[in-house]
Amino acid sequence: MTSQTSSDCLFCKIVAGEIPSDRVAETERSIAFRDISPTAPVHVLVVPRRHEPTVGALAAASADDLADVFRLAAQVAELEGVAGAHRMIVNTGPGAGQTVFHAHVHVLGGATFTEGRMV
């Protein structure tokens, strides 16, 4: 099987429209939708349509898809009014809190971020 889609993957099902999501933007290569359990006033997930388990695997598989994810993430920050104050977070591996093994970027904004503190 190729890694383009994975039948038991939650985000592949959201990409396919089999599971509903609150989409805020999309491109030919990526989609952006609101996190179901937001941890900031703006909390949007940007995911490639292509299934790869991590952002590193996505980078290895397709530089175009990787670039598109981050381009869309920047557009989402603009659309949501947080272009000047947001974080893009990528959790990689269970030890870092990754729970969905389809590459994605969290775009977080509207919260007070403390300078110099990542977590």
| Interface pattern 30-49 for ligand AMP (x via CB under 6 A) | -----xxx-------x----
Report residue 31 as tokens.
Answer: 């989609």
Contacts of 31 (CB under 8 A, 6+ apart): 14, 15, 21, 23, 25, 46, 47, 49
φ/ψ (deg, to 5) at 10: -55, -45
Least distance in Å: CB of 97 to ligand AMP? Answer: 5
Q: What angle do CA 85, 77, 80 make, to 5 degrees?
A: 100
Question: Which of the listed partners (Zn ion, ligand AMP, none) does 12 bind, with a CB threshold of 5 to 8 Å by partner kind?
Answer: Zn ion
Nearest alpha-carbon partner for 30 in 72, 59, 62 = 72
86 part of the active site: no
The footprint of ligand AMP on residues 73-112 (CB under 6 A) is: 91, 97-100
The footprint of Zn ion on residues 53-112 (CB under 5 A) is: 102
Query: In this chain, which of 50, 51, 104, 106 binds Zn ion, going by CB under 5 A?
Result: 51
Could you list the residues that contact Zn ion (CB under 5 A)? Answer: 6, 9, 11-12, 51, 102
Could you list the residues that contact ligand AMP (CB under 6 A)? Answer: 10, 19, 21, 35-37, 45, 91, 97-100
